[in-house]
Structure 1
Amino acid sequence: MTAWGAWLGRGARGGEEYFLGRRDLPWAIVLLSVVATETSTLTFLSIPGIAYGGSLAFLQIAAGYVLGRIAVARWLLPAYHEGRLRTAYELLEARFGPETRRFTSALFMVTRLLADSVRLFATAIPLTLVTGWPLIASVLVIGAVTFIYTFIGGIRAVVWVDASQMLLYVAGGLIALVVLGQAAPGGWPDILGRAAEAGKLTLIDPALDFGRPYTLWAGLLGGAFLSMGSHGADQLIVQRLLACRDLAASRRALIGSGFAVLLQFALFLFVGLGLWAWYDGATFARSDEIFARFIVEALPAGVRGLLVAGVFAAAMSTLSSSINALSSTTAYDFWAAAHPGADEGRILRAGRAAAAAWTLLLVAAAIGFIPLSEESTAVEVSLGIASLVYGGLLGAFALARFSRRATSGSVRAGIAIGIASVTGVWVFARAAVAWPWFVLIGAAVTVGVGLVAARLGARR
């Protein structure tokens, strides 16, 4: 994968070719890349743990993801393509000026650094189990291998390798389903029968309880707003959509990815049910380790190797995407803005230097990451971190698209108070308000404060 990715992106001569792939990437490949980027190792390892300790109710979140993508395709994608933008935050500069663009771009950078360091940490766990290496060595190896093809190949390499890596780890999940079914005395009918008796096949929970993350309302509303934030205001995904050939292709890639993610979540949740039957509901210190332990302890050679390869394919897909997106925002939102006369060649060199710096920061953050608590899986921690900021970013884009009164100052005030509000909820009321509601709350506060601040400013 590393060699192929480096070969795919060879010969890039400018920043736009390196970061946007000449804007001619096939939508089907972009669709697979979007799925691989947003799910990664946390899907492979953590989602089975959610079903192991709970039920299939997580699929309600995935249903909300589809609704959120439809909204982004309808309201935000046209604006991105009309201006032939290079980063998501250029749209905010056109409406509110360069200060807002840099402010939101910096928020994206901090969020991606924190959330993706969690992902990198989670991926190092199975490598440590397989090799016996120290956790630090595992993080360093994953970071170094991914950096090579990302640095050389740019977005074209990242997208094509993402697509192939997704097919690899989905194949690993399907193989796990087969192995688990064969191990049960009565096959999958026996597993599902036992799961039904234990209440683990629950799909819809209509309870209106803001403290529970996997209810119908948290799934449809919270999941939709989370998806709007992650796929409409996050350069990690927007960069891929900008690399499609036209608006119609971007819409197909975005909406299609929602249905693909729904199926993928279902696959790994059923893996979790199979693991629950295999271990007879035994208790584990960390639910993220259950599938990893099954791979290295229970599978035969060959199959074990393929599943381990799937783990690392999932890890590399997200890490490479994060490095490339972070370097693109650094190059365009900060470096190029400070050097208005720079040509595409100089932007390319600045972007590659930024890629090296961000790789080091991601690896360092992963090494310094405090081990997850027993109450939360890595996927919940990562989504929770991202949700703290997504509401503020989404609210800013809503003000840019639908408010004539909002100003640069009012938008930045709205973002700051919106993020502070959600952070306060996370710190002081986490038991009463679950993480799927964070983006909705943050977006509502950001829009409300932005409109009020703009009105007060106009009166002065």
Structure 2
Amino acid sequence: MHIIDWVVLILTTCFIVIYGAWKTRKTSSVESYLLGDRDLKWWTIGLSIMATQASGITFLSTPGQAYDDGMRFVQFYFGLPIAMIILAIWVIPQFYKLKVFTAYEYLETRFDLKTRFFTAALFLIQRGLAAGLTIYAPSIILSTILGWNLTMTNLIIGGLVVIYTAIGGTKAVSETQQLQMGVILIGLFLALGVVIYKLPPQVSFSDALSLAGGMGKLNLVDFNFNPSNKYNFWSGILGGTFLFLSYFGTDQSQVQRYLSGKSLTESRLGLLFNGILKVPMQFAVLFVGMMVFVFYQFTQPPIHFNHVNIEKVEQSSNSNDLKILQTDYNLLQTNKDKSLTSFINSVHSGDKTAQKSNIEDLKKIGVEEKQIRSKVKDLVVKTDNKAVADDTDYIFITFVTKHMPIGIIGLLIAVIFAASMSSTSSELNALATTTVIDFYKRAFKKDENDQHYFKVSIFFTLFWGALVISFAIFVSLFENLIEAINIIGSIFYGSILGIFMTAFFLEKIKGNAVFYAAIITQLIIFILFFMDKTGRIELAYLWLNPIGCFLVMIFAILFNRTEFGIRDGIRN
């Protein structure tokens, strides 16, 4: 990177960290540390909620998803506004009524202590894994593309987050997330502007959309009902709604954001603000990726976007095979250039027949390109069977480092840092809060003073920070990062949501029934997930959310009528 990019990156990142630490330096009580004195306005809550969800993975993986698969991933978010409305009407008032610190406190009031412990433990496992991934994901890509040391990158991202989160708690998280969202949005629209500007002079924005549409990249909605299809209207509306109900309604990293609100109304407005803006924001991120696809139609893309993998193949006995594939790839680009020129001319002349013919030619070339790229991936694995051959997550950062102007590169890498820090800080804060309130205070030290719990909260923030950074250093990479986060969530969220839905809507269900229902359901979800992974069934991961939720509720109803429910009823 140029010295100017380094200056932009360092100044932006350091300002966010220093601002968060300074702004909340006077935090001294456990309520202030864990819930920010419950004085946040709705727009701060809304931005904080968005920043918590928008990790560095969002800006590394999502554009690559659009490049490879088009805009259809936006369907994943179709259930989000529905979930926000349901939570604002029914769930938030329940939490406010009991004045809880964590979502899981409510479960002891409604059921019993073991259900609270079990649900909180599921959260700690799931969120601890996800937090490690939100640090590791940008670190592995930045270290690969920029040549940075991976362990050092993990330590820098994780360490910066731990500093201001440990100093200021929830308020530090919320204050910095406003700045981080500002940096993220500025970077997002700058990236879009630059990629449009970088198109050839003869290619207008309208031409770019025509090409993307013809190549199938603008297919937003798929109404075909297919459980094995990860992204269609039905998986988004049904599976997505349940995923987001669980994430925003039961995950402490999000619940803590709106429990910090000044009032019930402020918290509700913050959630609805997120529901209104989140889908357009994800659309914009995907749109950037789709425009990068168009850009790389006119500028030859790398045969493989992870240059480290290519260097390994070049230095191996498979180098000649790679050279042959590269020659074929270059020839294909020459043929593509001719078809692209004909297509643009036909668009300008309004010749629909020629447009259709040119698009068919381009699609055939696209298929051949994919075949060559697939063979390169085979060479990567053949050279190093531990290598991750999927290069989708490297597409956008490659474009940024190779084609963005000086200064903008530094800002966009700062965006990735800011996004990673924003989500990780919320996760660390939530992990510490749940550990202190749901386990330490409830099971070990019930009657200590406020200062004791304040100091313990700082300790557990540092503890989880060290644990998460350690996991980030030793974790292995998933094939697609944005999916990895959602898969981890989907494995656990269905059961957690089922427990809360039972608590809210099935008033006669007792603690024993829901506790054993949740355990059995979680085991079934594990089995379904591994059956899908081993090819025994085909089930897109989003469906694990409604399946898990409904199984908990159904088993709880059945168990409530058996010895479990009867014994629990006698005790109560």
Residue 459 (structure 1) shift? 5.3
RMSD: 1.4
Counterpart residue number, 2:460: 354
Choose from 297, 305, 314 the match for 2:402. Answer: 297
3-state DSSP class of the match of 1:288?
Answer: helix
Counterpart residue number, 1:104: 119
Superimposed CA distance per residue, residues 251-277 of structure 1 (whole angstroms, 9 cap, x where no aligned partner): 111121022110110111011111112
Aligned equivalents of 1:93 and 1:215: distance in 2?
38
Aligned equivalents of 1:352 and 1:459: distance in 2?
43
Q: Is the 8 A contact 1:66 1:259 kept in 2?
A: yes
Kindly report which structure 2 residues correspond to 1:422-441, keeping only aligned pairs within 5 A, or say none: 422-430=525-533, 432-441=538-547
Counterpart residue number, 2:128: 113
Kindly report which structure 2 residues correspond to 1:10-29, keeping only aligned pairs within 5 A, or say none: 10-29=25-44
Aligned equivalents of 1:226 and 1:101: distance in 2?
20
Kindly report which structure 2 residues correspond to 1:108-257, keeping only aligned pairs within 5 A, or say none: 108-129=123-144, 131-185=146-200, 186-257=203-274
Aligned equivalents of 2:33 and 2:143: distance in 1?
34
Q: Is the 8 A contact 1:125 1:289 kept in 2?
A: no
Counterpart residue number, 1:279: 296
Superimposed CA distance per residue, residues 46-71 of structure 1 (whole angstroms, 9 cap, x where no aligned partner): 11111111121122221211111111
Aligned equivalents of 1:241 and 1:354: distance in 2?
22
Residue 142 (structure 1) shift? 0.6
Counterpart residue number, 1:370: 476
Aligned equivalents of 1:171 and 1:418: distance in 2?
43
Superimposed CA distance per residue, residues 285-315 of structure 1 (whole angstroms, 9 cap, x where no aligned partner): 3211111111122212111111111110001
- Given the superposition, is the C-alpha separation of residues 287 and 251 from structure 1 closer, same or farther in structure 2, using an over 3 Å criterion? same
Residue 129 (structure 1) shift? 4.3
Aligned equivalents of 1:407 and 1:385: distance in 2?
28
Counterpart check, 1:258 vs 2:275:
yes
Residue 126 (structure 1) shift? 4.2
Aligned equivalents of 1:119 and 1:174: distance in 2?
23
Choose from 338, 343, 353 the match for 2:449. Answer: 343
Aligned equivalents of 1:296 and 1:187: distance in 2?
24
Counterpart residue number, 1:407: 510
Superimposed CA distance per residue, residues 53-94 of structure 1 (whole angstroms, 9 cap, x where no aligned partner): 112112222121111111111221110001111101011010
Aligned equivalents of 2:146 and 2:219: distance in 1?
37
- Given the superposition, is the C-alpha separation of residues 403 and 273 from structure 1 closer, same or farther in structure 2, using an over 3 Å criterion? same
3-state DSSP class of the match of 1:429?
Answer: helix
- The AA in structure 2 aligned to 1:14 is S
3-state DSSP class of the match of 1:76?
Answer: helix
Aligned equivalents of 1:87 and 1:176: distance in 2?
38
Aligned equivalents of 1:195 and 1:421: distance in 2?
41
Aligned equivalents of 1:437 and 1:290: distance in 2?
28
Kindly report which structure 2 residues correspond to 1:1-150, keeping only aligned pairs within 5 A, or say none: 1-129=16-144, 131-150=146-165
Runs of 4+ in 1 over 3 A off after TM superposition: 281-285
Residue 279 (structure 1) shift? 2.4
3-state DSSP class of the match of 2:190?
Answer: helix
Choose from 264, 267, 278 the match for 2:284. Answer: 267
Superimposed CA distance per residue, residues 82-134 of structure 1 (whole angstroms, 9 cap, x where no aligned partner): 11111010110101122211211111010001112122111103431465222
3-state DSSP class of the match of 2:34?
Answer: helix
Aligned equivalents of 1:307 and 1:113: distance in 2?
27
Q: With structure 1 as the length reference, what TM-score do the two structures score? A: 0.96
Aligned equivalents of 1:187 and 1:339: distance in 2?
66
Residue 419 (structure 1) shift? 1.7
3-state DSSP class of the match of 1:56?
Answer: helix
Counterpart residue number, 1:450: 556
Aligned equivalents of 1:76 and 1:187: distance in 2?
48
Q: How many residues align?
A: 457
Structure 2: state its 5+ residue gaps. 1-15, 306-389, 568-572
Q: Is the 8 A contact 2:131 2:428 kept in 1?
A: no
Superimposed CA distance per residue, residues 120-156 of structure 1 (whole angstroms, 9 cap, x where no aligned partner): 1111034314652221111011111111001001111
Residue 177 (structure 1) shift? 0.6
Q: Is the 8 A contact 2:50 2:274 kept in 1?
A: yes
3-state DSSP class of the match of 1:150?
Answer: helix
Aligned equivalents of 1:283 and 1:3: distance in 2?
39
Aligned equivalents of 1:379 and 1:32: distance in 2?
20
Larger Rg: 1 or 2? 2
Q: Is the 8 A contact 1:13 1:344 kept in 2?
A: no
3-state DSSP class of the match of 1:190?
Answer: helix
Q: Bigger CA drift: 272-281 or 163-172? A: 272-281
